[in-house]
Structure 1
Amino acid sequence: MTRTAQLYRMVMDKHVCPYGIKSKWLLESQGFKVEDHPLTTREETDAFKDKHGVQTTPQTFIGGERVGGYDALREHFGKARDPNAKSYRPVLAVFAVGLALALSLSQFVFGTPLTIRTAEWFVAFSMAMLAMLKLQDVETFSSMFVGYDLLGKRWVPYAYAYPYLEALAAVLMAGRVLPWLSIPIAFTIGMIGAISVFYAVYIQQRDIKCACVGGSANVPLGFVSLTENVAMIGMAVWMIVRPSL
């Protein structure tokens, strides 16, 4: 027997509620036949809210009982996510895309995905993407960064400069351009970062968020954060050992 749900959502000429669209998709993906009730005017929407004593739309009804909005619907189906839950997904996504780009470029240039340049590009591309995420909101990044970075605590301008330095080193290292500039930058910020993360996590045993992907994600400071810094150090040392390929 097909289960039925009633969905009330805003569908206006200049605004179609995105959560209404997602609610309809979620219901259908769970095997429900959706009785869709578009609210096409502001007056119609306000009247619906007043009638049911709700402040937002969309609203879903199953078996005559109001489930609620999109978040409530996700919770109803056991798909709710804890907004405060910690996750390494943002930084792992950066590493995965960086690796895929490096493999693809190596295949195009050298005819094989597995080359020394693949490893170099992987580090450089990952650094560049991490820097880009930080640069989206330098103010928020710097506020998180000074909470654990040893130099940032003592000299706040370093916290503001860090994402620019990381981006500069990444771009230069990707093309092995101006190594006399990129190598010391990567080595210095990587070493300071590695020491800071190690001290905060393994000595002080603090449970705090990492600023590695900017200030919007809840990535725990730990091994993955340490890996970012160690990779920068390794890249700098490698370019000293192998100044040319």
Structure 2
Amino acid sequence: MTKTAQLHRMVMDKHVCPYGIKSKYLLEREGFEVEDHHLTTREETDAFKAKHDVETTPQTFIDGERIGGYEALRKHFGHAKDTGGKSYRPVLAVFAVGAALAVSLSLAFFGTLGVRTVEWFVAFSMAMLAMLKLQDVEQFSTMFVGYDLLGRRWVPYAYAYPYLEALAAVLMAGRILPWISIPVAFTIGTIGAVSVIYAVYIQKRDIKCACVGGSGNVPLGFISLSENLAMMGMAVWMLVQLGL
């Protein structure tokens, strides 16, 4: 028996509701034949909302019952998004892409994996993490001073940190100006590692990490510590490479 759903969504010359498109896709994926009703003017949309006493579109109806908008539809099918839970996904995505780039370049230029692969992985990951922080430095700094030992004592450091991380990453990726990249990476990595150890393992605080900027809900902990230890390790490795 064919399952049928009625979908009412905005489809105008200058605006097609993205949630309406996603609602239609979700219904079809769940095996529904969709009766797709387009609301083509603002007046038609307002009249629809007034008639059904709703504030937003799209709206989905199944078996005469109003399910609601896109998020309500996701919840109806058991796909509700967890908006409050902590997740390592943002930082793991950065590390995965950084590793993939490092492997790809190593195979392209050297035909094999080696020490350069690891160097690129650390540098690329640092660069992407810095980019995420630079999207909203104000938000990042607010989170950062909550646990960083230097940042809470000297706030300008919290604003400078993303730029310092990006600078060290770019220089290390090309093995250029090591007299700048090495001390920068080692310094911010050491301060960061000590801060994480103190906040998480000594004070036992349960707080969010600022490592992916202000957009994520990554818990401060082992992965955050690993990021800082990787910067320290990279700096030491480059010193060894230079014979210092």
List per-residue Cα deviations over 1:158-216 (Å, max 9, x = no partner): 00000000000000000110101100000000000000011111111111110000001
Provide the rounded CA distance (Å) in 2 between the counterparts of 1:30 and 1:205: 44
Provide the rounded CA distance (Å) in 1 between the counterparts of 2:31 and 2:241: 59
Q: Which amino acid aligns with 1:6?
A: Q
Corresponding residue of 1:161: 160
Provide the rounded CA distance (Å) in 2 between the counterparts of 1:20 and 1:205: 45
Q: Is 1:185 aligned to 2:201, yes or no?
A: no
Where do 4+ consecutive residues of structure 1 move more than 4 Å?
Answer: none
Provide the rounded CA distance (Å) in 1 between the counterparts of 2:242 and 2:65: 69
Q: Which amino acid aligns with 1:234?
A: G
Secondary structure of the 1:9 match is strand
Secondary structure of the 2:242 match is coil
Give the superposed CA RMSD: 0.7
Superposed displacement of residue 48, structure 1: 0.2
Relative to the length of structure 2, the TM-score reads 0.99
Aligned ranges 1:1-245 → 2 under 5 Å:
1-112=1-112, 114-243=113-242
Superposed displacement of residue 84, structure 1: 1.2
Q: Which amino acid aligns with 2:142?
A: S
Superposed displacement of residue 243, structure 1: 2.1
Q: Which amino acid aligns with 2:67?
A: V
Provide the rounded CA distance (Å) in 1 between the counterparts of 2:85 and 2:216: 10
Secondary structure of the 2:97 match is helix
Provide the rounded CA distance (Å) in 2 between the counterparts of 1:222 and 1:205: 10
Secondary structure of the 1:154 match is coil
Q: Which amino acid aligns with 1:45?
A: T
State the aligned residue count. Answer: 243
Q: Which amino acid aligns with 2:93?
A: A
Superposed displacement of residue 242, structure 1: 1.5
Q: Which amino acid aligns with 1:66?
A: R
Provide the rounded CA distance (Å) in 2 between the counterparts of 1:2 and 1:189: 61
Q: Which amino acid aligns with 1:205?
A: K
Provide the rounded CA distance (Å) in 1 between the counterparts of 2:204 and 2:45: 51
Percent identical among aligned pairs is 81
List per-residue Cα deviations over 1:12-38 (Å, max 9, x = no partner): 000000000000000000001100000
